[in-house]
Amino acid sequence: KPQLLKGKRGLIMGVANNRSIAWGIAKACSDAGAELALTYQGDAMKKRVEPLAEQLGAFVVGHCDVTEGETIDAAFATLADEWGSIDFVVHCIAYSDKDELTGRYIDTTAENFTQSMFISAYSFTAIAQRAEKLMTNGGSMLTLTYYGAEKVMPHYNVMGVAKSALETSVKYLAEDLGKDKIRVNAISAGPIKTLAASGIGDFRYILKWNEYNSPLRRVVTTDEVGDSAVYLLSDFSRGVTGEVHHVDAGYHAVGMKAVDAPDI
């Protein structure tokens, strides 16, 4: 593979297991020559993330739960000690109570709305605050979003509202950090069967619908998201910031059910 990230060091947050989008991105970045660091959330993830990190020779920074600000500070302090500076950070973190990823959006509770917004949208800004200080030679920040931010998707509910906030924060962060040669972008990935996605009601239906109706007539893989991430993290995208890049087999471009789509 072309060594687009040779000489670059980056932090990837949000690997839960080998089906995580963060893992697809980590593999692609490693193949492109990057040196990587990973954080994990809690002991359950630690057991899965440590052997994965070993496969890539990645540095395991430690536990980081974005609801505990001190663990974000600790992770970035560890990274500062280990590397001094970083070139990129990838944020693959989202959460909503799964009871609210089904039924009607209108029934969202104040508590879950606040928590989903905090973990899925604000945390990217919280991480940008810390990462900015380590990006002394400029850098690239990347987060993951979904089309449910732009259009209503069944069951996506409060997560769609949180992703809208996340996408808008990408634009504001791009403006704030552009002067320091730090770029901020998002990938809007098509549906992929991951741990987080399994919490979304009728996810199989969403996958099938995308397979039948996207221009490429299939769904995307975490490896494909990873390859697109390499571009956004590399100097090949040096003129790109504040962008939401769709890696969804083209689904966002279509306005109606495909004429050849079978019934589901």
Task: Write out the H or E segment, with its range, that includes residue 35.
Answer: strand 35-40
Q: Contact between 160 and ligand NAD (CB under 6 A)?
A: no
Query: Exactly one of 95, 124, 209, 251 binds ligand NAD (CB under 6 A); which one?
Result: 95
Query: Exactly one of 8, 10, 14, 155 binds ligand NAD (CB under 6 A); which one?
Result: 14
Q: Contact between 60 and ligand NAD (CB under 6 A)?
A: no
Query: Exactly one of 5, 11, 12, 21 binds ligand NAD (CB under 6 A); which one?
Result: 21
User: Which residue stretch of 58-66, 73-81, 133-141, 237-245 sits at the interface with ligand NAD (rule: CB under 6 A)?
Assistant: 58-66
- Does the annotation count 212 as an active-site position? no
Q: Contact between 234 and ligand NAD (CB under 6 A)?
A: no
Active-site hit among 146, 172, 212, 231 = 146
Q: Which residue has the tokens 């769904």?
A: 219
- Does the annotation count 105 as an active-site position? no
Tokens read off for 97: 């109570």
Beta bridge partners, 36, equal 10
User: Which residue stretch of 11-19, 73-81, 177-185, 232-240 sits at the interface with ligand NAD (rule: CB under 6 A)?
Assistant: 11-19
Classified as helix, coil or strand, 177 is helix
Tokens read off for 142: 């990347």
Whether 196 has a binding-site annotation, put simply, is yes
Query: Exactly one of 60, 62, 67, 243 binds ligand NAD (CB under 6 A); which one?
Result: 67
Q: Sign of torsion, CA 31 33 34 40?
A: positive
| Torsional class of 133: left (φ above 0), alpha (ψ -120 to 50), beta (otherwise) | alpha
Q: In angstroms, rounded to a whole number, what is the distance separating the alpha carbons of residues 162 and 145?
A: 9
Q: Contact between 96 and ligand NAD (CB under 6 A)?
A: no
Q: In angstroms, rounded to a whole number, what is the distance separating the alpha carbons of residues 106 and 157?
A: 8
How many CB atoms are located within 10 Å of the residue 126 CB? 16
User: Which residue stretch of 74-82, 100-108, 141-149, 150-158 sits at the interface with ligand NAD (rule: CB under 6 A)?
Assistant: 141-149
| Torsional class of 37: left (φ above 0), alpha (ψ -120 to 50), beta (otherwise) | beta
Return residues touching ligand NAD (CB under 6 A). Answer: 14-16, 20-22, 41, 45, 64-67, 92-95, 119, 144-146, 189, 191-192, 194-197
Residues with a known catalytic role: 146, 156
